[in-house]
Amino acid sequence: MTLHPLRSTRSARTILGLAAALMIGLASPVSAQQASGTALANVLVLGTGGTIAGQANARAGNAYDSGKVSAANLIAAIPGIDKLAEISAEQISSIGSQDMNDKVWFDLVKRIRAAIDNKEVDGVVITHGTDTMEETAFFLQNVLDTDVPIVLVGSMRPSTAIGADGPANLYDAMRVASAPESRGRGVLVVLNDTIHGARWVQKTNTTSVQTFRSPDAGPVGYVDTGSLRFLQPAVAIKTAKLKLPDAPPLPRVDIIYSHANMDAAEVEDAVKRGAKGIVLAGVGDGNSSKGAIDALAAAAKQGVVVVRSTRVGSGYVNRNVEVEDDKLGFAVSLDLNPQKARVLLELLIANGITDPSAVQQAFAQP
């Protein structure tokens, strides 16, 4: 759906843009673009659902249904957002991101690629639930080969809550997606005035609006009232650009969570279920009990691709420290948490990359 009511004439837009520039400060790349009299950036908003589109049931305490409000209606409710960019909005799905799946991911890629190939857009904003936002961001970064800013945004409070954070987050995401300075930085996540890179960002708190952090790298930048502040110059993000199969699903990769008193059962069950890959959410430096490690080694011998990650939440998993990866045929996830390691391993297996040393090389891409 295109938001024709938000569109205005070019000259009216320029005047409105100048007014917006004065409101948000001329230091902002968005306002600099407007002040120079150039056309506004074209930004495509793709709605997928999540709390940002959530509606509270007034009779049910803090309960709410996620994904009820369309992306178009979210935008229409934010004063001044139409001064930042020429906005069009489409709905890809209306789901809580706990239900995010390969089909929605494939649909997103198809639509984004078409918009970029047809030169329809200078930036893309994806509204998304926060629970699996980091997985979608990292998936897109691995399969999209573009400099166009792709920005994921969500909220921790539903749109009808007192102190809803969605409108400010969406406004900020629009500023980032429409700014030339955001080009070439890979897929970004914007919430709570902060810009994160897809490889490093994680949800770290169940309820706080300050939930997204990048523990091993720090944020990429900040959005404040006066400017976008990127902390580093844009460097080309060198991810392996992996091909998508013609249709979902991606190959099955299971995550196995390590814990005290663990035996081989979970690993053996995953192999029986037909997992093509297993990611270990290991203790500490990606370790597990002797029983589980032995079962993983047996799985690797049968051709299941094994990647060791950690349940800890930050830090690197290094090769051959406590576990003999070379001997057992494992790869390690380095800085990727288990959920992102799963995404990359699905894509690698789909691309026929299963040899442990080739898998390891792909995980090492920054």
Which residue is catalytic, options 130, 132, 136, 239?
130
Question: Does residue number 131 form part of the binding site for ligand GLU (CB under 6 A)?
Answer: yes
Tell me: cis bond preceding 180? Omega within 30 of 0 counts. Answer: no
Nearer to ligand GLU among residue 20 and residue 126 (C-beta):
126
Restricting to residues 149-178, which ones interact with ligand GLU according to CB under 6 A? Answer: 154, 156
Q: Of the ranges 128-136, 243-251, 293-301, 328-336, which one interacts with ligand GLU (CB under 6 A)?
A: 128-136
Beta bridge partners of 43: 87, 123
Q: Of the ranges 19-27, 92-100, 306-314, 331-339, which one interacts with ligand GLU (CB under 6 A)?
A: 92-100
The SS3 assignment for 199 reads coil
Restricting to residues 263-292, which ones interact with ligand GLU according to CB under 6 A? Answer: none
211 is catalytic: no
Which residue is catalytic, options 14, 48, 51, 194?
51
Strand order from edge to edge, sheet including 277-282: 253-257, 277-282, 305-310, 331-332
Instruction: Report how far residue 198's alpha carbon sits from residue 187's, in angstroms, rounded to the nearest whole number.
Output: 6
Instruction: Give the helix/strand (H/E) hosting 142.
Output: helix 133-143
Instruction: Give the helix/strand (H/E) hosting 104.
Output: helix 102-117
Q: Minimal distance in Å, beta carbon 113 to ligand GLU? A: 24
Q: Which amino acid is at 184?
A: G
Question: Does residue number 135 form part of the binding site for ligand GLU (CB under 6 A)?
Answer: no
Q: Of the ranges 93-101, 231-239, 311-319, 336-344, which one interacts with ligand GLU (CB under 6 A)?
A: 93-101
Q: Of the ranges 29-37, 79-87, 127-135, 136-144, which one interacts with ligand GLU (CB under 6 A)?
A: 127-135
Instruction: Report how far residue 321's alpha carbon sits from residue 338's, in angstroms, rounded to the nearest whole number.
Output: 19
Q: What separation, in Å, do the N-terminal and C-terminal C-alpha atoms of the chain show?
A: 36
Beta bridge partners of 42: 86
* 130 marked as part of a ligand binding site: yes
Taking every pair of Cα atoms in the chain, the longest distance, rounded to a whole number of angstroms, is: 70
Task: Give the one residue of 17, 47, 50, 282 binding ligand GLU; rule: CB under 6 A.
Answer: 50
146 is catalytic: no
The SS3 assignment for 56 reads strand
Beta bridge partners of 197: 188
Angle at 263 between CA 277 and CA 348, to 5 degrees: 10
Task: Give the one residue of 33, 93, 97, 141 binding ligand GLU; rule: CB under 6 A.
Answer: 97
Which residue in the shown chain puts its C-beta closest to ligand GLU?
Answer: 129
- Looking from the CA of 17 toward its CB, the CA atoms found within 13 Å total 27
* 131 marked as part of a ligand binding site: yes
Task: Give the one residue of 21, 24, 89, 96 binding ligand GLU; rule: CB under 6 A.
Answer: 96
Nearer to ligand GLU among residue 98 and residue 320 (C-beta):
98
Question: Does residue number 98 form part of the binding site for ligand GLU (CB under 6 A)?
Answer: yes
* 97 marked as part of a ligand binding site: yes
Within its chain, how far is the Cα of 326 from the centroid?
Answer: 31
Catalytic annotation, residues? 51, 130
Which positions lie near ligand GLU, rule CB under 6 A?
50-51, 66, 96-98, 129-131, 154, 156
Binding site membership for substrate: which residues?
97, 130-131
Binding site as annotated, residues: 97, 130-131
